[in-house]
Amino acid sequence: MTAARIALLLAAASLLAGCLEVEQHEPWRHGAFDGKPDDLRPHALFGNDRLAWYAAINNRNQRQNEYNRTPEKGGAP
């Protein structure tokens, strides 16, 4: 009988565990984003040309690569 009581208490505790979850967002926000849409950069600077935007990002990343910035072995900088 003790095992049945323990099983009943564990079942009741597991059922109540889901009911005690706290709301994650404030009630006035409803979990939505409050700011402006973030679509300004590719539209404004590159005329909505996505390939040019990604090419500029890739070019910037390649210029930050230390292997590309160092001179070849034996050559002058």
User: Does residue 30 fall inside a structural domain?
Assistant: no
Tell me if 54 sits within 8 A of 60, measured CB to CB.
Answer: no
The pTM of the whole model exceeds 0.75: no
User: Does residue 61 fall inside a structural domain?
Assistant: yes
- Asked if the model's pLDDT at residue 59 lies above 70, the reply is yes
User: Does residue 74 fall inside a structural domain?
Assistant: no
pLDDT recorded at residue 17: 73
User: Does residue 51 fall inside a structural domain?
Assistant: yes
End-to-end CA distance of the chain: 85
User: Does residue 49 fall inside a structural domain?
Assistant: yes
User: Does residue 4 fall inside a structural domain?
Assistant: no
Q: Would you give the DSSP letter of residue 60?
A: H
pLDDT recorded at residue 75: 54
Number of structural domains (the chain) is 1
pLDDT recorded at residue 55: 92
User: Does residue 77 fall inside a structural domain?
Assistant: no
Average pLDDT over residues 61-69: 81
